């Protein structure tokens, strides 16, 4: 597929501007930061500053209007920004909470929009997501966390799990049951926006993953949230936030397609970077008396990786234009990620698992990619993405 029609001289000028800016503000040692797998306070501190600089450019939410702190860019311009950030591994802003932005933009009260959107675009608010519960993952509508009204406040009690980077975030979106009639389970869930700072009603305990990252178990113990911090309608969170506006096929959320307020999801530029590095490593490293890159098997494996990266890129572009295309893209990407890690490991052999030091190829990046790829069901597993495409996009029976 020819992708050249996707670019123009103006887009390329923007690309050059973003590249130059990244080189100016992002030293090599901080590249590759991943907010869901990093625990070094020094790196986090650098990134908080960096995100504020990114926000000042309007590039955290490039498509948002200027009054919300965006850069009023077209989707294609925003794609260029995201691609360059991703290609330079220049830490995009807290990807988890990004899904809250479009929901506030669509459903928020004027006060909520005025308060949250500019702070999000400035890099001052980072959202934790409180959806999944110990017994409610893919089947989220079975959630049990309760919110009960008390005057002009809601009192929330319950437990969440897998809360990514919650301990680094200052706000959390929480799905809670507001209608105790469990038979109406999809129609009894509301969304709340809770300030986590100095909040005794929210307790987090660590849940470490195999890729050196930390999710959290979250306990709500009589957490009080003002009524004006309910997002969307009472009992309406499932349809309005989880599955688009009142059943409208225009989607709003990470389990649905991006709407106009949602920025384009960048292709796997980070993987393209790893592939380049790996190809270079194979060209420079001798095995069995010859450069690795001269081994026909290694060449075939590198070719498979390159095809996979390009296919994901094309689907990333094209999927954006069709209904439920982001699900299709995510299903394919989520399945490609472990495959990518596995093929890289196969190429490198035992050296691939070395995490640092002089013997670690690509400074341990392959080991990190391999381990991270198994946590890619954040935001929904590929099977669930496939199910959404089958039932909602293709109209197949359950
Ligand atoms: C690294 C990481 C970060 C995360 N971050 C967050 C976060 O910040 N906030 C948050 O709320 N949650 C978060 N999650 C939770 C994530 O959204 C859930 O793990 C995911 O939705 C799957 O739920 P589950 O783990 O309970 O698996 P289950 O729902 O128990 O699924 C188990 C298996 O059954 C399959 N399955 C289930 N139902 C179906 C079906 N109907 N059809 C076909 N197959 C099905 C699944 O695909 C999966 O393979 C995170 C998870 C991970 C791993």
380 lines ligand 1 (CB under 6 A): yes
Say how far apart CA 180 and CA 327 lie, in whole Å: 31
User: What are the respective helix, strand and coil percentages of the chain, to the nearest 5?
Assistant: 50, 15, 35
Contact 168, 44 (CB under 8 A): yes
**Looking at 187-234, which runs of residues are DSSP E strands?**
189-195, 202-208, 214-226, 230-231
Contact 238, 190 (CB under 8 A): no
381 lines ligand 1 (CB under 6 A): yes
Question: 300: how many CB neighbours lie within 10 A of its CB?
Answer: 11
CATH 1.20.140.10 location in the chain = 269-393
In this structure, whether the domain defined by 4-121 belongs to CATH 3.40.50.720 is answered with no
Contact 161, 217 (CB under 8 A): yes
Pocket test of ligand 1: the residue of 38, 100, 130, 132 to mutate, having most ligand atoms within 8 Å of its CB, is 132
Residue 136 CA to ligand 1 centre (angstroms): 8
Say how far apart CA 281 and CA 74 lie, in whole Å: 38
Say how far apart CA 159 and CA 134 lie, in whole Å: 8
CATH 2.40.110.10 location in the chain = 127-242
Task: Specify the CATH number of the domain 127-242.
Answer: 2.40.110.10
Pocket test of ligand 1: the residue of 35, 137, 145 to mutate, having most ligand atoms within 8 Å of its CB, is 137
CATH topology of domain 269-393: Butyryl-CoA Dehydrogenase, subunit A; domain 3 (1.20.140)
User: The dihedral of CA 227, 231, 236, 237: what is its sign?
Assistant: negative
Q: What is the pLDDT along the chain (398 residues), one digit of tens a residue?
A: 555 556 789 999 999 999 999 999 999 999 988 887 788 999 999 999 999 999 999 999 998 999 999 999 987 888 889 888 988 888 777 666 777 888 999 999 999 999 999 999 999 999 999 999 999 999 999 999 999 999 999 999 999 999 999 999 999 999 999 998 877 888 999 999 999 999 999 999 999 988 888 999 999 999 999 999 999 999 999 988 886 533 333 333 333 333 433 444 455 667 888 999 999 999 999 999 999 999 999 999 999 999 999 888 888 776 666 777 778 888 898 999 999 999 999 999 999 999 888 999 998 989 988 998 888 887 789 998 899 889 888 999 98
34 lines ligand 1 (CB under 6 A): no
């Amino acid at each position: 597929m020819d992708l050249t029609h996707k670019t123009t001289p103006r887009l390329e000028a923007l690309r050059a501007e973003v590249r130059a800016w990244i080189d100016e503000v992002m030293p090599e040692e901080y590249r590759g930061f991943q907010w869901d797998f990093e625990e070094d306070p020094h790196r986090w501190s650098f990134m908080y500053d960096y995100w504020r600089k990114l926000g000042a450019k309007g590039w955290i939410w490039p498509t948002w209007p200027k009054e919300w702190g965006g850069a009023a860019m077209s989707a294609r311009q925003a794609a260029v920004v995201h691609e360059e950030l991703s290609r330079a591994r220049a830490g995009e802003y807290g990807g988890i909470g990004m899904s809250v932005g479009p929901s506030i933009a669509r459903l928020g009260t004027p006060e909520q929009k005025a308060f949250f959107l500019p702070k999000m675009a400035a890099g001052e608010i980072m959202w934790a997501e409180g959806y999944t519960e110990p017994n409610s993952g893919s089947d989220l509508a079975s959630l049990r966390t309760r919110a009960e009204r008390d005057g002009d406040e809601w009192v929330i009690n319950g437990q969440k799990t897998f809360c990514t980077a919650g301990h680094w975030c200052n706000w959390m979106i929480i799905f809670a049951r507001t209608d105790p009639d469990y038979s109406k389970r999809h129609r009894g869930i509301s969304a709340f926006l809770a300030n986590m700072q100095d909040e005794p009603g929210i307790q987090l305990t660590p849940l470490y993953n195999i890729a050196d990252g930390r999710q959290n178990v979250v306990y709500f113990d009589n957490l009080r949230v003002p009524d004006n911090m309910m997002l969307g309608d009472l009992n309406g969170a499932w349809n309005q936030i989880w599955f688009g506006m009142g059943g409208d096929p225009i989607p709003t959320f990470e389990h649905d397609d991006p709407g106009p307020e949602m920025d384009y999801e960048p292709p796997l530029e980070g993987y393209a970077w790893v592939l380049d590095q790996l190809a270079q490593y194979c060209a420079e490293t001798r095995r069995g008396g010859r450069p690795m890159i001269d081994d026909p098997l290694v060449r075939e494996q590198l070719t498979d990786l390159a095809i996979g990266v390009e296919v994901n890129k094309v689907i990333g572009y094209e999927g954006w234009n069709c209904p439920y295309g982001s699900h299709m893209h995510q299903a394919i990407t989520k399945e490609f990620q472990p495959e990518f890690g596995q093929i890289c490991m196969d190429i490198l052999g035992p050296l691939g698992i070395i995490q640092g030091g002089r013997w670690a190829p690509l400074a341990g990046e392959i080991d990190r990619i391999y381990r991270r790829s198994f946590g890619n069901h954040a935001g929904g597993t590929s099977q669930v993405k496939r199910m959404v495409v089958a039932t909602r996009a293709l109209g197949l029976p359950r």
